[in-house]
Chain A
């Protein structure tokens, strides 16, 4: 179901299903996920490990390998379906219209090639008409753009001569080389220290403003999303739990999982004596709960049967804001009941 009113999304993901083959048969690790990305927006996808957030984006890029496979749904880029494309067609799209920045720049860069040549490769593939000199100039321009000092010298260096923050800058240079429509950043700053994270996020948002690309920011850090995203989707156990504008999600979370996620993270501006914690463990591959995938850990369920028997529909709970919970109307009251700190009290807006 589409929640946004904007008619032409640049990227549209429809009922995406990804399965992984296990000894007990296929297991759905992404289960009917749908969302739209509008031109120029920053869309955050939040979730813990195993929530399916990275696999969803790999499926969008057509990069599923090994035991995972696309088992249903569609991905539309400007209305063109990517799922039916041949490998060759997809290669023309990746790195040109869609590009991705991964968490660990050390493993995504080739250690035996010069950094400059690796960035040049992406230009050579998609812009065969460019001369060698033009490519070289463009790479140096890109390195300068992402804040790598003395780009001429850095062009000839190898990844091990770059620091972690510099490597991530080089990855960003590579990702924006062909002015893509969509930049997918998968935990781009997780491996970095907090002061370097601030530099890299600032750079990402700046290049995005410059190239007018939409950005999908995949992260486990609600803080990063609150700071940089326009809209956010919360994933858990392979399903979309909640989606909406950032202000809405943070001030009026509709799903108990979103509430739990916000309340269980210690934060700098409020210091509760007691930290709410979601009981239990996230589901493994083989023991997906029936009904709502969050039901065994949910504080709102109160033993109600519908949570184990039926998958909650994705209900509109606000303006362009949806949540997959049978009892989302009770969420706001429940926040007070458990004493969870979701928001600084002085900042909470009117209840739903």
Chain B
């Protein structure tokens, strides 16, 4: 199916992925790992998906790929709903939808040569050409002699390049990167981030970049979605999410990220959240963030806030008291977004 440009490559509509888990005794409980998520990604765009461990971001990625079966909702890829698609048709869709996982030590078969690893998706789809494997090795910045070697001979960064070459072999349009650079050391991480950016430009790829690392997400994404307990609590352009976050959870996440600059020490105002993530088997009533929220009011326990536009276009958030606040690290910086008026820390924005 041919799509006009600028249309959404991927659209997720009210997606739920629930798991049955054993409760106490003979009972079973429902874990709502993904609990009503909707978003879309335009062709050529990078959507960053951030959240802490257990928020459901990886399950969301796996559900989109068809590795988990959704309980409810739809996943439209190039206009086609993938939910309920038969195995054979799903297989052909997967050619244009690939994934790179976090741990390149676990995701590459140690008994296969690098050449065979990259050739495997081509062989499965009956389109194996040695030249294609060579081309892939070159485009991820490896030497041709790696072809006959085993993954065990490589470091983490080079393994991740091999995993990227394998994911790109079939010429996919969407790449789901699930913590793809999180396990790498700083100097190697920068190399792989630059590689991903270059490949996106060259091949017109669309990325769903799942990560817990806000600094990396800011660097690589056009738009960002923030997840908490199975739900998106805020989604919008990178400039708005990082320049003037509206949801208290986004605000506290940003305030918690250390910035490598000692001169911020005195200026920085940190929102330290109370407590841990609530038990996902028994999420709080109303707004699921209210138990840790510094803005929580009695109404938050009764009414669940919907993901909706509050002020400026280009961003939705799910909070009864949504209010954009410019993070303190953006105030003195030269690239303060023009769309968000600069304000003093702690002051609320009048829109």
Alpha-carbon distance A198/B272, docked complex (angstroms): 6
In the bound complex, do residue B53 and residue A193 qualify as a contact, i.e. CB atoms below 8 Å apart? yes
Alpha-carbon distance A246/B266, docked complex (angstroms): 14
In the bound complex, do residue B187 and residue A278 qualify as a contact, i.e. CB atoms below 8 Å apart? yes
Taking the complex as formed, is A112 at the interface, i.e. its CB lies under 8 A from any CB of chain B? no
Which one, A222, A271, A297, A346, contacts B260 given CB within 8 A? A222
In the bound complex, do residue A265 and residue B253 qualify as a contact, i.e. CB atoms below 8 Å apart? no
Alpha-carbon distance A277/B212, docked complex (angstroms): 21
Which one, B52, B256, B261, contacts A344 given CB within 8 A? B261
Chain A residues contacting B252 (CB-CB under 8 Å) are 195
Chain A residues contacting B330 (CB-CB under 8 Å) are 269
Among residues 113 to 163 in chain A, which have CB atoms less than 8 Å away from a CB atom of chain B? 163
In the bound complex, do residue B335 and residue A195 qualify as a contact, i.e. CB atoms below 8 Å apart? no
Alpha-carbon distance A193/B332, docked complex (angstroms): 27
Taking the complex as formed, is B216 at the interface, i.e. its CB lies under 8 A from any CB of chain A? yes
In the complex with contacts A275-B193, A278-B187, A347-B263, A266-B258 CB distance below 8 A = no
In the bound complex, do residue A267 and residue B276 qualify as a contact, i.e. CB atoms below 8 Å apart? no
In the complex with contacts A198-B272, A261-B187, A267-B259 CB distance below 8 A = yes
Taking the complex as formed, is B189 at the interface, i.e. its CB lies under 8 A from any CB of chain A? yes
Chain B residues contacting A195 (CB-CB under 8 Å) are 52, 252-253, 256, 272-273
Chain B residues contacting A261 (CB-CB under 8 Å) are 186-187
Proximity bits, B238-260, A CB within 8 Å = 1, else 0: 00001000000000111111111
In the complex with contacts A202-B272, A265-B215, A48-B260 CB distance below 8 A = no
In the bound complex, do residue A220 and residue B329 qualify as a contact, i.e. CB atoms below 8 Å apart? no
Alpha-carbon distance A279/B190, docked complex (angstroms): 10
Which one, B53, B157, B188, B329, contacts A269 given CB within 8 A? B329
Which one, A193, A251, A262, A264, contacts B52 given CB within 8 A? A193
In the bound complex, do residue A266 and residue B216 qualify as a contact, i.e. CB atoms below 8 Å apart? yes
In the complex with contacts A194-B52, A224-B258, A268-B215, A48-B333 CB distance below 8 A = no
Chain A residues contacting B264 (CB-CB under 8 Å) are 226-227, 269
In the bound complex, do residue B219 and residue A271 qualify as a contact, i.e. CB atoms below 8 Å apart? yes
Q: Which residue of A lies closest to B155 (CB)?
A: A281
Chain B residues contacting A221 (CB-CB under 8 Å) are 258
Taking the complex as formed, is B347 at the interface, i.e. its CB lies under 8 A from any CB of chain A? no
In the complex with contacts A223-B258, A268-B259, A346-B189 CB distance below 8 A = no
In the bound complex, do residue B186 and residue A48 qualify as a contact, i.e. CB atoms below 8 Å apart? yes
Alpha-carbon distance A246/B263, docked complex (angstroms): 10
Which one, B187, B218, B257, B258, contacts A260 given CB within 8 A? B187
Alpha-carbon distance A83/B218, docked complex (angstroms): 47
Interface size of A by Cβ–Cβ distance < 8 Å?
50
CB of B38 to closest CB in A, whole Å: 25
Interface size of B by Cβ–Cβ distance < 8 Å?
49
Chain A residues contacting B157 (CB-CB under 8 Å) are 281
Alpha-carbon distance A148/B265, docked complex (angstroms): 27
CB of B49 to closest CB in A, whole Å: 15
In the complex with contacts A195-B273, A250-B262, A223-B257 CB distance below 8 A = yes
In the bound complex, do residue A220 and residue B218 qualify as a contact, i.e. CB atoms below 8 Å apart? no
Alpha-carbon distance A268/B242, docked complex (angstroms): 8
In the complex with contacts A194-B52, A223-B260, A250-B260, A271-B185 CB distance below 8 A = no
Alpha-carbon distance A166/B272, docked complex (angstroms): 15
Taking the complex as formed, is B191 at the interface, i.e. its CB lies under 8 A from any CB of chain A? yes
In the complex with contacts A195-B252, A277-B187, A344-B333 CB distance below 8 A = yes
Taking the complex as formed, is A311 at the interface, i.e. its CB lies under 8 A from any CB of chain B? no
Q: Which residue of A lies closest to B330 (CB)?
A: A269
In the complex with contacts A267-B215, A268-B214, A268-B329, A226-B262 CB distance below 8 A = yes
Which one, A48, A224, A267, contacts B187 given CB within 8 A? A48
Taking the complex as formed, is A199 at the interface, i.e. its CB lies under 8 A from any CB of chain B? yes
Taking the complex as formed, is B270 at the interface, i.e. its CB lies under 8 A from any CB of chain A? yes
Alpha-carbon distance A317/B129, docked complex (angstroms): 56
Taking the complex as formed, is A197 at the interface, i.e. its CB lies under 8 A from any CB of chain B? yes
Q: Which residue of A lies closest to B215 (CB)?
A: A266
Taking the complex as formed, is A49 at the interface, i.e. its CB lies under 8 A from any CB of chain B? yes
In the bound complex, do residue A265 and residue B186 qualify as a contact, i.e. CB atoms below 8 Å apart? yes
Residues on B lying within 8 angstroms of A by beta carbon are 52-53, 155, 157-158, 185-191, 193-194, 212, 214-216, 218-220, 242, 252-265, 268, 270, 272-273, 276-277, 327, 329-330, 332-335
Q: List 5 A-B contacts (CB under 8 A).
A: A163-B277, A193-B212, A196-B276, A264-B190, A267-B259
Other contacts beyond A265-B189, A275-B194: 13, CB < 8 A: A193-B53, A194-B214, A198-B273, A202-B270, A223-B258, A224-B258, A268-B214, A269-B329, A270-B333, A281-B155, A281-B157, A281-B158, A343-B261
- 5 interchain residue pairs of minimum CB distance: A223-B258, A264-B190, A266-B219, A277-B190, A193-B52
